[in-house]
Amino acid sequence: MTDPRFAHLLKLMDQYQIKALALNPGPVFTYLTGLSLHLMERPTVLIITKTHDPLILLPELEAGKLSASRIPLTPLTFNDDPSTWQKVFTYASHRYNLEGSTIGVEPTRLRFLELDYLQKAILVAKFVSAEKICESLRILKDEEEIKEMRRAVQIAQEALKAVLPMIKPRVTEKEIAAELTIQMLRMGSDPELPFSPIVASGPNSANPHAIPTEREIQNGDLVVIDWGARSNGYCSDLTRTFAVGSLAPELEKIFNVVNQANAAGRAAGAPEKAAGSVDQAARNVIESAGFGDYFTHRTGHGLGLEDHESPYIFGKNDQILAPGMTYTVEPGIYLPGMGGVRIEDNILITPTGCESLSDISRDLTIL
């Protein structure tokens, strides 16, 4: 098999001494096959070894999707009678000689449902985390992936522009979030968004992961909007903060500090630098302004087929940045009972530095 992604995986399996890899549908599964299969109450698992074509165990009703796979897949299907499913897994174990193997699994993805069938089918096996394999496989984005991420950013930005005129007093957070979702779909996002938009106004904006409520926008509010689109599976993840009417001086001050911190974080990325240095650059601005206690999360996280993946942008992360890595820079200040500010951009490490894929205005906009 000459597919470069699959060839890379086989090298990683050799490096980490893994005989087989068991994957649920999810980011690594999609990265390798190009398929997006639906996880349900029926088991679905892809088994990859170094000596056979990948074997996929799945319900009969899903088998028609396999023709679109970017790599050859050998299917083993089963019907809707659960009493027959274990036999299929046991047959797969014998066919691929998995007894006594070290089998890697994606620790945040493989369900107990599939793991239980595998363990009953392979009586002597060592199941281990393949987290390092999965991370190394996808952390450097190729041109095709970067193209999709650029498109996901543009979809999100155009959707927000379409929504801005409705952000005014007496409109609720939920109404804005609903319209933003609709606009992203209209602009061409995949139906499955990376996450539900966050719209948080007034005191609610002091909660970094607020859920939109029935609260009506009021004059003097800060409004934090955290949203993202998908393009062929690839995510964008952006945040902008707006003012409705004139702000209290303290709120305007924290906006300016966060904007400066965002600029410092964006500028800090470059090949051969530690991921933690990006966090430190943004955090130093906020701490120097006296608001360090109110910046309560890391500066960012990797981005790709998942909304949160490596590299993680926190101060003690010594992982070295390299061209093709993509991540967010999203410093924030959150004053309980008053309001909060977050400004988030999507960053690509280039051979000579870094590039912000997002360019929608970061300046204080009064709506």
- Residue 127 near residue 115 (C-beta atoms within 8 A): yes
* Interval 99-157: pLDDT, tens: 999 999 999 999 999 999 999 999 999 999 999 999 999 999 999 999 999 999 999 99
Q: Beta strands 300-302 and 309-313: pairing type?
A: antiparallel
The pLDDT of residue 1 is 54
pLDDT category of residue 64 using cuts at 50, 70 and 90 = very high
Please work out, in degrees rounded to the nearest 5, the angle formed at the alpha carbon of residue 112 by the alpha carbons of 108 and 116.
135
The pLDDT of residue 139 is 97
pLDDT category of residue 225 using cuts at 50, 70 and 90 = very high
Q: How far is Cα 192 from Cα 364, in angstroms, rounded to an integer?
A: 30
Q: How far is Cα 220 from Cα 226, in angstroms, rounded to an integer?
A: 20
* Interval 159-190: pLDDT, tens: 999 999 999 999 999 999 999 999 999 999 99
Q: How far is Cα 326 from Cα 309, in angstroms, rounded to an integer?
A: 10
* Interval 18-59: pLDDT, tens: 999 999 999 999 999 999 898 899 999 999 998 899 999 999
Q: Which residues pair with 155 in a beta bridge?
A: none
Domain locations along the chain? 4-138, 143-356
> Considering Cα of 156, then 162, then 163, then 169, what sign does the dihedral take?
positive
Beta strand residue intervals within the chain, DSSP E: 20-23, 45-49, 55-59, 74-78, 102-105, 126-129, 198-201, 221-227, 230-231, 234-235, 238-244, 300-302, 309-313, 326-329, 332-335, 339-342, 345-349, 354-356
Q: Which residues pair with 301 in a beta bridge?
A: none
Q: How far is Cα 284 from Cα 218, in angstroms, rounded to an integer?
A: 32
Q: What length is written for the chain?
A: 367
Q: What is the mean pLDDT of residues 70-83?
A: 94
**Could you give the count of Cα atoms lying within 13 Å of 286 in the half-sphere of its Cβ?**
31
Mark 118-150 as b/e (b = at least 16 C-beta within 10 Å): beebbeebebeebeebbbbbbbebeeebbebbb
> What superfamily would CATH give domain 143-356?
Creatinase/methionine aminopeptidase superfamily (3.90.230.10)
Q: Is the pLDDT of residue 2 over 90?
A: no
Q: What is the mean pLDDT of residues 63-90?
A: 94
Q: Under CATH, what is the fold of the domain 4-138?
A: Creatine Amidinohydrolase; Chain A, domain 1 (3.40.350)
- How far is the CA of 221 from the CAs of 79, 144, 262, 349, in angstroms? 56, 40, 21, 35
Q: What is the longest distance spanned by two Cα atoms in the chain?
A: 70
The pLDDT of residue 38 is 84
* Interval 295-335: pLDDT, tens: 999 999 999 999 999 999 999 999 999 999 999 999 999 99
Q: How far is Cα 65 from Cα 145, in angstroms, rounded to an integer?
A: 22
